[in-house]
């Protein structure tokens, strides 16, 4: 067990899976020798495994995703990197019409064991085309599995599960968590999909969130502890499958729920979670469910604008205080 960054943990997972199974290969724009990925996740892997297995591609997102589909149905396990989550818009046909539907519309004749890695989120002043959080789009597409690791100790186990899964997995990361450190097991370990993790136990209110917002929620929980408010923080770790059991149990205990993500509010994952909880735990709720999201605007560039856009500790704390 060593303390390493999220980036290092993710790379370790990729490396171990490539060593374990020669069918696994990486493909994407600038993932190889010259760059090692825009966020350096694959740096060094091309040197270790060769340029055929850590393959640079032209800027052709739709064909990168489609080639992953074709490779996956004929005996390989592609791990594709789309440089920014915003650019999956260019791969949507292959992701949502092909990868997600093939097993179903071909009556189970073939499965599509691919992993598509990409990165969401703002905080780096990269403006409207490099900062979005679009995970709910994929939650609305049956046939996809969605991992949303926010911590170093989870990302290694989840990437291994993703690679070993027979279905297409969208593996979403966040720009601001790559440098976050945690103790990560050195050995081979997997984390099953559909198992949320209670990151902090509490009695008064449940906070459910994803990605960088979880890190903020934990800071807020720490602050509020001093005021005598006990906050439970839940990380779903995967959105599909979604662990509703852990969440519902928590809500039944605390009676209050705040949902925090960096997505724009309308149609976000938080809307779905709120609907599920009111269906399954309405009688246990002592207050309305609160949502903390970004406003319904594109992600702005200028620092004061972006800071306004992204939910901050103050907004999370206010939402909690409002219902406690």
Partner 1 sequence: MAVDKKTLKELYARTLKVRRFEEKVWDLFGENIVPGTLHLYLGQEAVAAGVTVALEKTDWIQSTHRGHGHVIAKGADMNAALAELLGKSTGSCKGKGGSMHITQFDAGVLGATGVVASGLPIAVGAALSCQMRGTKDVVACFFGDGASNNGTFGESLNMSAIWKLPLIWVVENNLYAMGTPIKMTCPSATIAQRADGYCIPNVVVDGNNAQEVYEATVEAVKRARSGEGPTLIECQTYRMRGHSRFDPAKYRPEDEAKHWLSEERDAVRIIREIAIKQGALTETEAEKIEAKITKDVEKASEFAKKSEFPKPEETLDDVFAGVL
User: What x/- string results for residues 175 through 204 when contact with partner 1 is judged by CB under 8 A?
Assistant: -------------------x----------
Does the protein bind partner 1 through residue 67 (CB under 8 A)? Answer: yes
Q: How many residues at the interface with partner 1, by CB under 8 A?
A: 47
DSSP letter string, 102-114: HHHHTTTS-----
Minimum separation from the CB atom of position 75 to partner 1 (A): 6
Asked if 166 interacts with partner 1 (CB under 8 A), we say: yes
Torsional sign, CA 315, 216, 209, 239: positive
| CA–CA separation, 236 and 215 (whole Å) | 13
Under the binding rule (CB under 8 A), the answer on residue 17 touching partner 1 is no
Distance CA 106, CA 109 (A): 6
As a whole number of angstroms, the distance between CA 302 and CA 77 comes to 40
| Between 72 and 268, CB nearer to partner 1 | 72
Distance, in Å, from the CA atom of 78 to the CA atom of 112, rounded to the nearest integer, reads: 10
Here's the x/- map for partner 1, 89-128, by CB under 8 A: it reads as ----xx--xx---xxxxxxxxxxxx---------------
Closest Cα partner for 98 from 137, 134, 144? 144
* CA atoms lying within 13 Å on the CB side of residue 235: 23
143 lies in the site for partner 1, by CB under 8 A:
yes
Closest distance between partner 1 and the C-beta of residue 198, in Å?
Answer: 22
Q: Which is nearer to partner 1, 55 or 216 (CB)?
A: 55
32 touching partner 1, by CB under 8 A: no
> CA 56, CA 40: separation in Å to the nearest integer?
14
CA distance 271 to 292: 10
Which residues does residue 77 pair with via DSSP β-bridges, in sequence order?
24
| C-beta of 233 vs 240, nearer to partner 1 | 240
- Does 69 help bind partner 1 (rule: CB under 8 A)? yes
Q: Is 181 helix (H, G, I), strand (E, B) or coil?
A: strand
Burial of 87 by CB count in 10 Å (0-12 exposed, 13-18 middle, 19+ buried)? middle
Residue in 33, 66, 198, 280 binding partner 1, rule: CB under 8 A: 66
Q: Which of 156, 124, 216 is nearest to 13 (CA)?
A: 156
Q: How far is the CB of 119 from partner 1 (least distance, A)?
A: 22
Contact flag: residue 277 with partner 1 (CB under 8 A): no
CA angle (248 as vertex; 197, 251 as ends), nearest 5: 95
We find the least distance from the C-beta atom of residue 45 to partner 1, in angstroms, to be: 16
Compute CA distances 153 → 36, 182, 205, 210, 221, whole Å: 22, 6, 25, 15, 20
Min dist CB 142 to partner 1, Å, is 5
Cα Rg, the chain, nearest whole Å: 19
What's the closest the beta carbon of residue 212 comes to partner 1, in angstroms?
27
74 binds partner 1 (CB under 8 A): yes
The catalytically annotated residue of 103, 130, 174, 215 is 130
Asked if 130 is an active-site residue, the reply is yes
**Candidate ranges 38-46, 162-170, 225-233, 301-309; the one touching partner 1 (CB under 8 A):** 162-170
Residues 34-63 that bind partner 1 (CB under 8 A): 52-53, 57-58, 60, 62-63
Indicate whether 308 belongs to the interface with partner 1 (CB under 8 A).
no
Whole-number Å distance between alpha carbons of 70 and 99: 9
Interface ranges with partner 1 (CB under 8 A): 25, 52-53, 57-58, 60, 62-76, 78, 93-94, 97-98, 102-113, 142-143, 145, 165-167, 194, 240-241
List, by residue number, the catalytic residues: 130
């Amino acid at each position: 067990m060593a303390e390493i960054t999220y980036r290092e943990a993710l790379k370790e997972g990729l490396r171990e899976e490539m060593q374990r199974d020669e069918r696994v290969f990486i493909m994407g724009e600038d993932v190889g020798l010259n760059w090692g990925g825009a966020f350096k996740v694959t740096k060094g892997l091309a040197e270790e495994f060769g340029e055929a297995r850590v393959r640079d591609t032209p800027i052709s997102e739709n064909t990168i995703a489609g080639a992953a589909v074709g490779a996956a149905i004929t005996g390989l396990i592609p791990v594709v990197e789309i440089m920014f989550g915003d650019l999956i818009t260019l791969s949507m046909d292959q992701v949502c019409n092909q990868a997600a539907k093939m097993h179903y519309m071909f009556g189970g004749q073939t499965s599509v064991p691919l992993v598509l890695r990409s990165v969401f989120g703002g905080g780096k002043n990269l403006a409207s085309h490099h900062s979005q959080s679009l995970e709910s789009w994929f939650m609305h597409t049956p046939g996809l599995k969605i991992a949303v690791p926010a911590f170093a100790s989870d990302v290694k186990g989840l990437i291994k599960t993703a690679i070993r899964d027979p279905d297409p997995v969208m593996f979403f990361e966040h720009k601001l968590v790559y440098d976050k450190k945690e103790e990560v097991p050195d050995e081979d370990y997997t984390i099953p999909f559909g198992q949320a993790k209670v990151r902090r136990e509490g009695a008064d209110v449940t906070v459910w969130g994803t990605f960088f917002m979880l890190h903020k929620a934990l800071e807020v929980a720490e602050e509020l502890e001093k005021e005598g408010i006990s906050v439970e923080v839940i990380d779903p770790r995967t959105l599909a499958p979604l662990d509703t059991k852990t969440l519902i149990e928590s809500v039944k205990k605390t009676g209050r729920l705040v949902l925090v993500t960096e997505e724009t509010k309308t149609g976000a994952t938080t809307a779905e979670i709120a609907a599920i909880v009111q269906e399954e735990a309405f009688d246990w709720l002592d207050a309305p469910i609160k949502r903390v999201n970004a406003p319904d605007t594109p992600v702005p560039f200028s620092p004061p604008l972006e800071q306004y856009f992204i939910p901050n500790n103050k907004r999370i704390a206010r939402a909690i205080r409002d219902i406690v």
